[in-house]
Structure 1
């Protein structure tokens, strides 16, 4: 590995375990919700955030995971709206936030969107905005699950390239066009019998990816990325496969995966290339802690579990990537620290405060 690559992604110290969360402070009574059919207006512009955004690298796109959160009143929206109103009409307001230049379309994981739905989203954002889109679980989950999330049977179309193209890539290309940033195949935890034959599994993933249509002619910034939830897949053979088909690695910050410093070898192996990162869940909640995080952090209007170690480490990786002229697509969930917009603002400050070299 060259000195240049090592300097871009320096080894990072392992963060200490997060302390238990302090009880949240008392808050004022919520504001009255806007009418159901209301157009969603953005929060008043904060000059400090505008100045911060101007100092960020041009190749960096920060954004949230989805946008239908009433608790973001006065952070993203000009007041409190119903979740249904925000889901339908909130994207245009979100895209006016000074720091947000991308968003993750997570809902596509649960039910594939159509080209016309994608087109509606594309029409709600400025030309420089880019989408990070999760592939449908129909092709990324090796098992068929019931309503509780329990696997019930083998998924017959797992990693099926025809389904991936018809239900995901082609509609996204038609609807989002040049506003595609990253199409992410987030592979759900894979059954042990498939993981046991890693070469065969990697070959199946590679065959699907290789069959996908090219993106660059329609969306010059677009990349295909693969996120995994099985740490044993973070290996040289996985990186070799991704490189051979022109795809990249999506760094997933989640308790099912090791911390950033243990994922750096994948980034180094694929260098030079863009950074795709999804900060999904604070590590304190463990491998299956989404519901716990949702209960603790709602209504997602404040930082509950600060994680400065992860923010600092991520800021260094972002800086190393963008200073070398590569794009970075980084999305943050409310479940990272309690409030995605506030986490993104803190992350942006960490990036700007880094030494220039």
Structure 2
């Protein structure tokens, strides 16, 4: 079901041979329409001088963006004109990457189906050199359960946190295809069943084994980082920090109602300091742990901020500011379900950073 939303990498059908010219030398109208459909492009919205000015003042090590780019409701914000979701999925990334504040994007479809190096390379070819991708690990590695199409756990996953599978189906293809444009590899661990939570030290040991077995990212992607995001607050312990530190990985700040608010997660980042920031702002806390569909129904078509969360934005801006001032990279992706419209949330975050940069040093703390 999820794959149907992300058909941008499915190969286009081979071009239909043009029919023989008529005696008058004119091709059939149907052939012209088919050719035009295959060449559909997405036009980026005209540059906004105000956004360009904000972007020029942002830290070079900061990459913010959305969790995808296929939303028709972003007309006037990212696209010029109206497009079907399938068109945006196939052709929207170059236009998305022209937005001055959108310097990163999440590739979440990899959670549902691993991608090949050549598929990743097609993404990389569509964006500028300073653009970065935040890529989510496949569920076959990151979910402790095998689930049905409705998300119900059916049985334990025998290859959960398998190091060889993680390298073969996730890390190496992403490195080979994205190259230096890789920003963060995120192992988002789905909620663990209760019996497994009772054996959390065993899970942490499996996670340690996986992370320590991954190839070095720096030779291919000097800016890249491996991060672990969780859905069970029971993970947020010194033992979890020890695993991340030993493996040279970081904690992905997961802004989701299944976890404590952002302030309560910051001690993990402090324990790993100095280090990069990876943050995925997934869902507004107003909707509760299982509120994705409620948020989606309320926020469609994702063209305005419906439920502003200035407190989370202020804390996140402070963390971004501190991270980049320390010379570390920051990768922040925002879902439409955070406030209602990811591009507008990113703009608000950028404006909050702009205000912080204008403050005297003592007031930024």
Structure 1 gap ranges (5+): 1-33
Which residue in the other structure is 2:334 paired with? 332
1:150 counterpart residue number: 152
**Counterpart Cα distance in 1 of 2:95 and 2:75:** 11
Residue 93 of structure 2 corresponds to residue 91 of structure 1? yes
Q: Which has the higher contact order (CA 8 A, sep 6+)?
A: 1
The aligned counterpart of 1:39 is 41
Contact 1:278/1:332 (CA < 8 Å) preserved in 2?
yes
Equivalent position of 1:280 in the other structure? 282
8 A contact 1:180–1:219 mirrored in 2: yes
Structure 1 match to 2:352: 350
Aligned partner (choices 257, 261, 265) of residue 263 of structure 1 = 265
1:191 to 190, 193, 215: 193
SS in 1 for 2:253: strand
> Which of 50, 67, 70 is the matching residue for 1:68?
70
Alignment of 1:120 onto 2:122: yes
Within 2, Cα distance between the matches of 1:110 and 1:45? 34
Instruction: Judge conservation of contact 1:63–1:332 (CA < 8 Å) in 2.
Output: yes
User: Which residues in structure 2 correspond to 1:1-357 (within 5 Å)?
Assistant: 37-354=39-356, 355-357=359-361
Taking structure 1 as the reference length, what is the TM-score of the superposition?
0.89
RMSD, matched Cα? 1.1
Cα separation, 2, equivalents of 1:205 and 1:302: 39
Superposed displacement of residue 198, structure 1:
2.1
CA positional deviation for 1:37: 4.7
Q: CA deviation at 1:144?
A: 0.6
**Count of residue pairs brought into register by the alignment:** 324
CA distance in 1 between counterparts of 2:176 and 2:323 reads 29
Deviation at 1:147, TM superposition (A): 1.0
1-structure distance, mates of 2:58, 2:121 = 28
Larger Rg: 2
Q: Distance in 1 between matches of 2:171 and 2:360?
A: 38
| 1:18 aligned partner | none
**1:190-213, Cα deviation, whole Å (9 max, x unpaired):** 111111122211110010111111
| Distance apart, 1:248 and its partner CA | 0.6
**SS at structure 2 position matched to 1:38:** coil
CA contact (8 A) 1:36 1:85 kept: no
Q: Distance in 2 between matches of 1:149 and 1:338?
A: 24
State the distance in 1 between where 2:120 and 2:218 align.
18
Counterpart contact for 1:35–1:81, Cα < 8 Å? no
Provide the C-alpha distance between the structure 1 equivalents of 2:294 and 2:116, rounded to a whole number of angstroms.
Answer: 32
